[in-house]
Amino acid sequence: MIMAMWLCKHLNSNLLTRDNLTERKSSSVATEARKHYQKFKRVPSTLLIRLIQQRLTEEDCVKRGWILDGIPETREQALVIQTLGIAPRHVIVLNAPDTVLIERNLGKRIDPQTREIYHTTFDWPPEPEVQDRLIEPEGISEQETAQKLLVYHRNIIKLLPSYPRVLKTINADQPCVDVFYQALTFVQSGHRSNAPFTPRVLLLGPMGSGKSLQAGLLAQKYGLVNVCCGQLLKETVADKSKVGELIWSFLEKKVTVPDSVILKMLTERLDQQDCVQRGWVLHGFPRDVDQAQRLDGLGYVPNRVFFLNVPLDSIMERLTLRRIDPVTGERYHLMYKPPPTMEIQARLSQHPRDAEERVKLKVDLYYRNSTELEHFYRWAIAINGDQDPYTVFEYIESGIINPLPRKVL
């Protein structure tokens, strides 16, 4: 926390922590998060990520940047954040022996007025009035700290692979000033794009094939703009632009939005400077060959296309077993992430889109159109999406870095 605060002051950036996100008075999401914390002593990942999304769209974060402290805490959170296109340019891990961390934590004190953090040994304020009002924060006893460290070590091993090429580990068992300057030097360095050209990537596959996750990983590693057609529809409607109002008129009547309207929305996004300069990864469109031809005809031609193929049985397993806790907002999977208690399991509900019949219908519709799409994108790369997501990502990455194979006709 201290290191993050120092970096924010030096860089004139914004510090985002779980505490200051949930303490915001102007946010209904923060109010909901506080209620959950008061009742369950934790903030569900879904609420925390919504708070981050909300905060990052505000003007000060857009202009001055941000530092996330202690978030994400788990691999699951990291994957969801990446899927949303939130991609930190630098990730720092501070390492120190547990005995040192426990000792440091015991001396931590907080100024209730400024929320500044001090330490009884390393950073004691010189002003007597500040010293007098310092308080000991909750949860810093030796036993509580040891328990938190146990959970941290369990999660960090799975979390670190989410941030290849932007990660730096710093030994924190040295003077704070030395740690700070190492961290500052790292965050002030720029990363060159790993991509050998400006990528325009198209991901195709049925629902549940992992397109959103792979798009998030590509955006993270190569700095691409993550263009999800479904998310873009929601954002355009929320902007209340002319196109947004037009889209809403169709959604309100529960009528399919015409291709011409979707293409207008997409072309406006793909014409923006960030997409032109950094490249993009598009998913959720096109869904059939007519849409692909129209996109191509407008000049938005992808230079890499990937088909993520997943068997129906695997898709059904991934989607129809998903559940949400209506009380905490926490998401579960009956096979991969079952609820911890029978009480929670009894109140879980299923989102209508994950119903078996609806999933089958959408997957069937995709595969009915996929043959023509495969013929249209003859040079596309087919990937088995029924694997660990990082294995799938390695295949996609290989397809981006290496030249396209010449196919003999």
Q: Are 382 and 354 in contact (CB under 8 A)?
A: no
The CATH code for residues 2-187 is: 3.40.50.300
Tokens of 317: 């397993």
Listed in order, strand segments (DSSP E) in 61-174 are 66-68, 91-95, 108-110, 117-119, 167-171
Give residue 178's pLDDT: 85
Give residue 405's pLDDT: 57
The CATH code for residues 200-401 is: 3.40.50.300
- Which of 74, 79, 76, 58 minimizes the C-alpha distance to 16? 58
Give residue 197's pLDDT: 65
Give the start-to-end residue ranges of the domains of the chain.
2-187, 200-401
C-alpha 400, offset from chain centre: 22
3-state secondary structure 17-57: CHHHHHCCCCCHHHHHHHHHHHHHCCCCHHHHHHHHHHHHC
pLDDT tens, residue order, the chain (409 aa)? 678 888 998 888 999 998 889 988 888 888 988 888 888 878 888 889 999 988 888 888 877 889 999 899 988 888 888 877 787 889 999 998 988 888 888 888 889 888 788 888 777 888 999 999 999 888 888 888 888 889 889 889 888 888 877 888 999 888 888 888 899 888 887 654 555 568 899 999 999 999 999 999 998 888 899 999 989 998 888 887 888 888 888 888 888 889 999 999 999 999 888 888 889 999 999 999 999 999 988 889 898 999 999 999 999 999 999 999 998 888 899 998 899 999 999 999 999 999 999 999 999 999 999 999 999 998 899 999 999 888 999 999 888 877 665 543 3
Which parts of 311-376 fold into alpha helices (H)? Answer: 312-320, 342-347, 356-376
> Tens digits of per-residue pLDDT, 362-381?
999 999 999 999 999 988 99
In the block, residue with structure tokens 């070590």: 153
The answer to whether the 2-187 and 200-401 domains have the same CATH topology is yes
Give residue 409's pLDDT: 36
